[in-house]
Amino acid sequence: MITREKRTFRTFDLVLYGATGFVGRRAAAYLAQLQSRRKLRWAIAGRDDTKLEALRTELIATMHARSVPPAVVVAESSDAKAIDAMVRDTRVLVTTAGPFALYGDAIVDACVRHRTHYADITGETAWVRGLIDRHHAQAARDGTRIVPFCGFDSVPSDLGTLLLVRHIQQALGAPCVAVTAYFQMMGGFNGGTLASNAHRYEAGEVDAGRDPFLLNPRGRHSAAEIEGNRDPRSARYDETIGTWVAPFVMGPINTRVVRRSAALSAQWGEPYAPSFRYQEYTKLDAPLAQAKAHALAAGMAGFDVAMKSAAARALLGTVLPKPGEGPSKKTMAGGWFTTELIGRTEDGRSARARIAFSGDPGNRATLRILCEAGLCLAFDGAKLPGGAACGGVLTPATALGGALVPRLRAAGFEIEVGI
């Protein structure tokens, strides 16, 4: 039996696992450039010592002479002793190594045992449901924050909703009964994300994820609640914003996360509203907004059907980026996203929020969100929701809350609330 230790001295403030992957390398470079702002005791980690040492050499060449270079930690995800030693030695573990359903269990298990805070960039909702069932109660008792979804999935949705809900409660003096988010974006795909998505279909996790309340605390939901929160499947004209919308590709992930935030907040005595609804869409602009919306909805439906076929997945695997590969620097530099959120009260009053970033959503925004979430866990304990002793398998909103906002703004994100 492993005795749980108090979170006393650890060798590292933060360990970045999966550091030699496509997103991981860029996350490591981002942390290296932050060294001029703070002396961070950190390490890059993964399974290949040669690649890790080469990455460390590259990072040192870009760092200020007085900066603290990263240590190297070698740990194969199937090596329980190595994973245990890595986790035991750090205050916070952040990871980009997916598919998380294949490579994440041992790491999260160790983080809970050793009371090490954890953050990742998964979009695998069915896997996170398993983490909640196995670990939420113990992590809550120990004050350990296990925080999946710390990337483009699902921080703009989750944090934006939290900020807008609290603004409406304070500025309008009424509960916010519903929030709708509208996304526009440009970017590329990396092989790790595509591999994670393929695994979700192979393992049947996509079908399990169709439950709109998959991540909520266990309990019954009425037929009206389920119907009112189903994922949109078709294009429609949205009178609120005056243009056509289609389903958002990340909606089946982000909506579950936001609903868990609302449910946990209600359990903590800080509800969004007695009955809260959240939904999100892709916003299409003129010209040809209607045609683009219908084409996008049809394309998403076709992709869903194709990905259920092993033959189609294999065919796509021959032409799409492999794990470790991703878009070019030019594509990433030209990427961007904007999230517009509209919240309303029962009597029809409303307010808006906006989160935006200039850079590829999945490959530049995500790594900054993850790194800043990890630093937030490491250094902002007293500012976190519930104080330093709060824990559980949480969401970005319930684990990090407003403490993450100044960090994201400093990292280049535009965050406006009450506009």
CATH assignment of the domain containing 180:
3.30.360
Q: Is the pLDDT of residue 78 over 50?
A: yes
Q: pLDDT tens, 243-282?
A: 999 999 999 999 999 999 999 999 999 999 989 999 999 9
Residues 171 and 137 in one domain: no
Does residue 66 belong to any structural domain of this protein?
Answer: yes
pLDDT at 208 exceeding the cut of 80:
no
Do residues 253 and 342 share a domain? yes
Q: Which residues contact 341 (CB under 8 A, 6 or more apart)?
A: 160, 161, 164, 179, 180, 181, 182, 352, 353, 354, 355
Strand pairing class (243-247; 277-283): antiparallel
Closest CA to 250 of 155, 342, 321: 155
pLDDT tens, 315-331? 877 777 777 788 888 88
Task: State yes or no: pLDDT of 209 exceeds 80.
Answer: no
Angle (nearest 5°) at CA 171 between 403 and 409? 30
Residue with tokens 């997945």: 313
Q: Which domain holds residue 61?
A: 12-152+363-406
Q: pLDDT tens digits for 165-174? A: 999 999 999 9
Q: What is the pLDDT of residues 173-192, one digit of tens each?
A: 999 999 999 999 998 877 77
Indicate whether 153 pLDDT > 60. yes
Q: Which residues contact 242 (CB under 8 A, 6 or more apart)?
A: none
Are 347 and 367 part of one and the same domain? no
- Same-domain status, 342 and 381: no
64: CATH: 3.40.50.720
When comparing pLDDT for 57 and 228, which is higher? 57
Confidence of residue 3 (pLDDT cuts 50, 70, 90): very low
* Residue 303: predicted pLDDT: 85
In a domain? residue 160: yes
Burial of 202 (0-12, 13-18, 19+ CB in 10 A): middle
In a domain, 418, yes or no: no
Q: What is the DSSP string of 251-271?
A: HHHHHHHHHHHHHHHHHTT--
For residue 246, being part of any structural domain is answered with yes
Mean pLDDT of the chain: 92
Residue type, 358: S
- Say if residues 353 and 178 touch (Cβ distance below 8 Å): no
DSSP H helices in 219-335: 223-228, 251-267, 289-307, 310-319, 329-334
| CB 125 within 8 Å of CB 214 | yes
Query: Would 20 be classed as within a structural domain?
Result: yes
Return d(Cα 207, Cα 204) in angstroms, integer: 6
Rg of the chain over Cα atoms, rounded to whole angstroms, equals 21
Same domain? 142 vs 169: no
**Does one domain contain both 247 and 299?**
yes
Question: How many beta carbons lie within 10 A of that of residue 64, not counting itself?
Answer: 10
Nearest residue to 325 via CA among 155, 223, 217, 192: 192
411 lies in a domain? no
> Is residue 135 located within the same domain as residue 224?
no
Say how far apart CA 362 and CA 246 lie, in whole Å: 20
pLDDT at 5 over 70: no
Helix (H) and strand (E) counts in the chain? 17, 14
Element (H, E) at 16: strand 12-17
Count structural domains, the chain.
2
- Examine residue 3 and state whether it is found in any structural domain, yes or no: no
Residue 20 and residue 105 in one domain: yes
Same domain assignment for residues 45 and 115: yes
Residue where one domain finishes, among candidates 345, 360, 375:
360
SS3 call for 341:
strand
Phi first, then psi: what are they for 134, rounded to 5°? -85, -35
Q: Are residues 109 and 162 in the same domain?
A: no
Residues 334-350: what's their mean pLDDT?
A: 97
3-state SS, residue 339: strand
On the question of pLDDT at 198 being above 60, the answer is yes
Task: Give how far the C-alpha of residue 55 lies from the chain's centroid of Cα atoms, to the nearest Å.
Answer: 25
Question: Mean of the pLDDT values across residues 329-357?
Answer: 96
Q: What is the distance between the alpha carbons of residues 97 and 24, in angstroms, rounded to a whole number? A: 8
Check whether residue 308 and residue 386 sit in a common domain. Answer: no
Indicate if 290 and 323 belong to the same structural domain. Answer: yes
Percentage helix, strand, coil, to 5, in the chain? 45, 20, 35
How far is 273 from 165, CA to CA, in rounded Å? 9
What CA–CA distances, in Å, run from 350 to 148, 168, 328, 343? 30, 8, 40, 5
Backbone φ, ψ for residue 71 (5° rounding): -80, 170
- The pairing of strands 178-186 and 336-344 is antiparallel
Name the DSSP letter for residue 332: H
Q: Last residue of some domain: 360, 376, 394?
A: 360
Residue 342 phi, psi (nearest 5): -120, 125
